[in-house]
Structure 1
């Protein structure tokens, strides 16, 4: 690894900004979507926090690509990583101009300055050597004396503040550093103006520069290409966590997406499923695939590509183990509870022997897959020892992570630390430690609702009753109880459930709560063709990280529950009225009346 320094723990998770290029390349495993994201064109990549978006964007930067490809000359694009969270572009004072005349102009100028600052920082750090060795000095002078000078002059920068751009260029790094300093000064000037406006009711004139994407950024990019400042490659602006932009800034960014310049530059935008709008400044909505393409980074890991995710995580784990000199497969390093697997095998044999007379599936193996592990959990529950079910073994840990890499790595790091307390040289993680950590993580998640609520949420709850966070917590607990009732009912044809579709009309309140669950990772969704072939339907998946809290089997599913919208509404607002009936009647409580509550799907193995 770069700097020849291993991380403290093979499964430790650090933000990509805090890793060196060598460390990122050493740890990185190519995501299935990575090759798609490397092609020209504007793209959105949507996924929950921890799904690996930032790592992928950071891997697209020139320092990482130079290591990966062998040299700077071999990179296919010049990636400029812009982590929105770490900039001051989303400071609260910028909300002051959201609804004011000229706010969009100031917002575009601030956003333009931000990406230009990152562009020149990357040119300074990663391209200076290439420019010094491969670009004629006359071309470098033309680029700075003409394209850069006039781009800023026409944006309103005073000529006397641009005199440094006309000087003889002796050091390209210093030249870029001076440009960055100038951009910082313009940014500071604009921010001070906005802050002053917040302190007076009177209008305040703005006399500073106003930078725009087309007339500033694209002119500079044209200059880069015309003067061979970089190899003949496009520039990718990699905007990470764009949810953190204000609504007006988001509209500015969408306006840029609507422009046609992808042969020279592309915008790669990551979101955490809370992107504020897809409207442009003019009110026109950008659309896929006309203006951009979209990669749903999380959804692709919860459905039909589950096995691909297993292989993907296996490669990540074994690459990290190899770096630490641990010669074990992922399965060997995270072994299952041996006694539990023996008992489940016995149940499998019983099911096989009964199949000819009592089989329910199309094949004997279908029944084994659907019923063996749920039956084992049921028997443990009868003995009042459901907590003894062991959530251990690599495959089971992968399934519990529900398609989010960090939700595997964070618990794995805790397991490694716990195992080190037992034996310093760790060669595998004891199943009891695996199970304990997974249960602790599930408990934290189920009790974390207070932490995701805002002070405003809690204030409203005190004044008006349940907050949205309370309703989400009620809904999640109610869904868990429904799925638990199925796994404990030996007469149910489908016992391994963790997902549902919705029948009936949904209130706006229900839609809002479901969306809140998606944003915070308690729910996932897939959009697919309906079973009757008419239109599309949404399937919601409860995160398998909560499996230990409801004694669920996280190893796949064999059906979707069709739940009425009014039942979900009841669970949100008064769950005890329903879950008490569910506990006494079991799944019979779900089958009152003529509502079609269950839809069978193919086995998800």
Structure 2
């Protein structure tokens, strides 16, 4: 059975060969990540942040021939995933102030040193024995100065036959377990004993150890890139610790590359200073790239898919592999010809001539909406609008690479399952298969909002007790319910505009907020951005010099569910906070009010959604 070329794997669990074989530099800002500086990389889940970081690892860079050997690398990068299980566990919430900061920083340092030691162990044969022993000795000295003790069973004699790097990794791993046990057992004690372990920090252990690495024979004399993946999984006190590291500007020895899923809560340090760009760090927002450089994203995604097809031994172009609906394309060309003919007739009957550029623009803006109205008006027609074709799949992915790979993977599996005994090579994804998967994949995107709105989690209970937790905020039931209503209102409103043949702007996919939102609305909007239902960009207001308004774009993945035109640029609607607050309470009232305000016909109020949305 052939291997699915679009399979989505956890970047943390794949080897360097897989990364080198499949990674394509999608983002134009990628070179900035290689600079000797601190960098924050923001992006929704699935935008490829982990793959981006792992592509900088030394083994990957050598395989890709960016360096022929370890000593020629421009930096030494180590990937450190920050899992919720490691840093978002409930026991951290019991400690506040200096205790949380000191123990938390120590744990973070130990996790980093563990990963560094594991990385160096993989290159043990390329590093001189003198250097490896010096690294081990330097770590022991720094660890003991920080208050750490090395248990008798961890003596070096027990690690004969293994590298000194493995010895250091074992000490770090044991220390992490001991600290976690101390935190977990505190609620069971009648008195709180003094914390007996080490309190290693950034400047007194991590930076000196990085300097030691720069001196090692076989390694380049370059900064250590510490790539902290998903830093918004850190509790807020530890985010402040990380910001304090950034503020030290120790980039000659350590450069921090930090990724977030758009939920990093603070840019303040432990002493309440704000770290600032560009002095302390540079910043890249991967999610914003889609709205500002669609052609660039499309081109790079084409490279990614073409590379995967070649690796799978599949010949032909990506457009051949993901064909469009030819009958639909034929009808769209006919509609475009009708629009051109209408303008030619209008020009002949009027002195006001419409130029060729405007005619071309209007064919792009109105051809698909006109076809969709035809389909909507044919109550007995079994035809539905097709979202097939590579370009359509690119639009649906909304700038999230994984949102292309996931449905493509399902399509591939479905074609395989339909073939005789699941054998043979897939050379094309038929249009019916594309459309069936796309419709299902679009609709299921809303399921988490419904599921979370019917659950009460422990983190929600914590909120009622006044515990500050970003993660609790993200899982609060009422926020999911209101976000679900807001998305439903926007989707149905945009469909209503599409069905209005008299509307000047029929292809609408975003709203611009004209005033400052209240805290509740702001939390709902931020949740929508974090979860990928909305994308945020700034819009320069024409009526105010230098003024900028937030623009919220509905994820195009929802387009098939609400039967919207997802192709190319779409217009926006101006709204006020009270409009969106109404949508959060009652999507139907929001849609009716807005369509009536915009002069849309009453028939637009009832939208033809299969199993359509409902008000909660």
TM-score w.r.t. structure 1 length?
0.89
Q: 1:541 aligns with which of 553, 560, 576?
A: 553
Counterpart in 1 of 2:104? Answer: 107
2:213 and 2:219 in contact (8 A); partners too: yes
Counterpart in 2 of 1:180? Answer: 169
Counterpart in 1 of 2:211? Answer: 222
1:243 and 1:274 in contact (8 A); partners too: yes
SS of residue paired to 2:24: coil
Counterpart in 2 of 1:479? Answer: 490
Distance 1:514 1:158, change over 3 A: closer
Q: CA deviation at 1:577?
A: 2.3
Q: 1:403 aligns with which of 399, 404, 412?
A: 399
Q: CA deviation at 1:220?
A: 1.1
1:480-519 superposed matches below 5 A: 480-519=491-530
SS of residue paired to 1:467: helix
C-alpha distance in structure 1 between counterparts of 2:449 and 2:17, whole Å: 38
1:13 aligns with 2:8: yes
Counterpart in 2 of 1:597? Answer: none
Aligned residues, how many? 572
Distance 1:458 1:589, change over 3 A: farther
Counterpart in 1 of 2:82? Answer: 84
C-alpha distance in structure 2 between counterparts of 1:46 and 1:590, whole Å: 42
Q: 1:248 aligns with which of 237, 243, 247?
A: 237
1:267 aligns with 2:263: no
Q: 1:369 aligns with which of 364, 371, 374?
A: 364
1:41 and 1:262 in contact (8 A); partners too: yes
Q: Deviations over 1:520-564 (max 9, x none)?
A: 111001124322333222111001111112211100234211112
Counterpart in 2 of 1:118? Answer: 115
1:140 and 1:229 in contact (8 A); partners too: no
Counterpart in 1 of 2:580? Answer: 568
SS of residue paired to 2:511: strand
1:34 aligns with 2:30: yes
Q: 2:337 aligns with which of 310, 326, 349?
A: 349
C-alpha distance in structure 2 between counterparts of 1:509 and 1:402, whole Å: 26
C-alpha distance in structure 2 between counterparts of 1:264 and 1:164, whole Å: 30
Counterpart in 1 of 2:531? Answer: 520
114-123 or 498-507, which deviates more:
498-507
Q: CA deviation at 1:401?
A: 0.8
C-alpha distance in structure 2 between counterparts of 1:444 and 1:551, whole Å: 15
SS of residue paired to 2:37: coil
176-185 or 114-123, which deviates more:
176-185
Distance 1:582 1:397, change over 3 A: same
C-alpha distance in structure 1 between counterparts of 2:286 and 2:220, whole Å: 30
Counterpart in 2 of 1:598? Answer: none
C-alpha distance in structure 1 between counterparts of 2:279 and 2:370, whole Å: 50
C-alpha distance in structure 1 between counterparts of 2:459 and 2:337, whole Å: 53
Q: 1:65 aligns with which of 49, 61, 65?
A: 61
1:307-386 superposed matches below 5 A: 307-356=295-344, 357=346, 363-384=358-379, 385=381
Counterpart in 2 of 1:144? Answer: 136
SS of residue paired to 2:262: coil
Distance 1:420 1:222, change over 3 A: same
Q: CA deviation at 1:212?
A: 0.9
Q: 2:39 aligns with which of 39, 43, 63?
A: 43
Distance 1:317 1:44, change over 3 A: same
1:206 aligns with 2:172: no
Counterpart in 2 of 1:156? Answer: 147
C-alpha distance in structure 1 between counterparts of 2:84 and 2:61, whole Å: 23
Counterpart in 2 of 1:595? Answer: none
Q: Which 5+ residue runs of structure 2 have no aligned equivalent?
A: 348-353, 465-475, 603-616
C-alpha distance in structure 1 between counterparts of 2:355 and 2:365, whole Å: 10
Output the aligned Cα RMSD.
Answer: 2.7
Q: CA deviation at 1:227?
A: 3.9
Counterpart in 1 of 2:185? Answer: 196
43-52 or 482-491, which deviates more:
482-491
TM-score w.r.t. structure 2 length?
0.87
Q: CA deviation at 1:164?
A: 4.7
C-alpha distance in structure 1 between counterparts of 2:245 and 2:147, whole Å: 21
1:25 and 1:64 in contact (8 A); partners too: yes
Q: Deviations over 1:306-341 (max 9, x none)?
A: 011111111111111111111111111101000000
